[in-house]
Chains A and B, each alone.
Chain A
Amino acid sequence: MERPIRVLVAKPGLDGHDRGAKVIARALRDAGMEVIYTGLRQTPEQIVEAAIQEDVDVVAMSILSGAHNTLFPKVVNLLKERGVTDRLIVGGGVIPEDDIPFLISSGVEAIFTPGTSTKDVVEFIKTHVKRQ
């Protein structure tokens, strides 16, 4: 039996706009994945701890407040510090094109901006998940 991909869908930072995160959570579920949803106002430390305990394959984060340059890389780094490097990390939200190269170079593997189809997100995760 093929195992489901496990994804942590998290909202780092303080913004409460979770429409996108919830739509993504449902779309991933409908694509057969197990989605662990964290709710609002998660610190990078909490996200990393949840990712570890839930042994997820993917950490998907959404930020609409502009705090992405601080918070996304912090999650990547904290995971690295714990020796966890085999997870796919993706982000989404209102993120200016200019910031994307920096985020990618910090270890976030894809940034999904407004207008992205959920199918593309599902496809990206399926093809880029690192653990078999």
Chain B
Amino acid sequence: MNIEDKILAGDKIACARLISMLENNEKEAEEILKKLYEKTGNAYVIGVTGSPGAGKSTLTDKMAKKLREKGFKIGILAIDPTSPFTGGAILGDRIRMTDLILDEGVFIRSMGTRGNLGGLSKATSSAIKVLDIFGCDYIFIETVGVGQSEIDIVKMADTVVMVLTPNMGDDIQAIKAGTMEIADVFAINKSDLDGADKTKFEIEMNLDLNENTDFRPKVIKVSALKNKDIDILLDAVLEHKDYQMRTGNFEKRRIDNVKQEVLDLVKENLINLIMKKAVENDLLNKLAKEVYARKKDPYTAKEELINLLLN
């Protein structure tokens, strides 16, 4: 059996292998995805984001378990930062998902951000496709909600759950500033701590200010560790899913995402092509020196590089 057939037959080893090949940018992998692409489109993607220590992994674990009880097949992509200095990473989210490991219907994969701009979202969206082909009904992408590239990943989700904890103080400000608008559901984890109500109130207040009112995100208090009110959270996620399906937002969001994805691929490809040529004849270095010496301006340099491709 080739790798395509194996994945379609539910072989976890093949599924894992293909994700690695895509992560490593192996050409062959893209060809395999081309062949299998028509099998995608069945999975619903849930993004789980929030600051470190907010309890994303435990919450993902608990939501996944609930969906398993309903018989769905689950994929989980847990993304952690790669060290920019060494290129290495410690990926520890599995620790909180130990009892899902032996579940036949769950596939968990940890990914390092590997520090390459754009590369991460490409690898993630490829991995989502593989899990979709593999037959997952729901796919969780779990990532720390800081930095543009991570926000880009979360945007690939059909529903985004933002995990907060009580008494975050300044964190709330940060979330307001950058990522508030990407959340479709807010989960206030560790609800047994003092201040959970206050945090809920603060978020509700912020939502009140939001002009765009055709969907108002729910704010749910949960305790991942105590497995409390996970049902309610999951209902809120599914409610958002229904809303999207009903209003056609789902289709719109996905088409937007595909647009972005295709554009990103084009960009990456073009740059690779230009770089290949520019490196071949050392043009980039030459141009940079000329621009520095004021013999040329950067705009002319750009045109020269693009011309490489057109000729």
Residues of A within 8 A of B (CB): 1, 3-4, 6, 25-26, 28-39, 42, 45-46, 49-50, 52-55, 82-84
Contact = CB atoms under 8 A, between A and B. Distances in A.
B95 A53 contact: no
B264 to A, nearest CB: 18
| Chief secondary structure at chain B's binding surface | mixed
Contact of A34 (B19, B94, B112): B112
A55 B3 CA distance: 14
Contact size range, B: 20 to 34
Interface in B98-136: 98, 101-102, 107-110, 112, 114, 116
Contacts, number: 84
A37 B88 contact: no
A53 B88 contact: no
B139 to A, nearest CB: 14
A29 B88 contact: yes
Contacts of A35: 88-91
Interface of B: 12-13, 16-17, 19-20, 23-25, 82-83, 86-92, 94-95, 98, 101-102, 107-110, 112, 114, 116
A42 B86 CA distance: 28
A29 B82 CA distance: 9
A76 to B, nearest CB: 16
B107 A53 contact: yes
B94 A55 contact: no
A50 B18 CA distance: 16
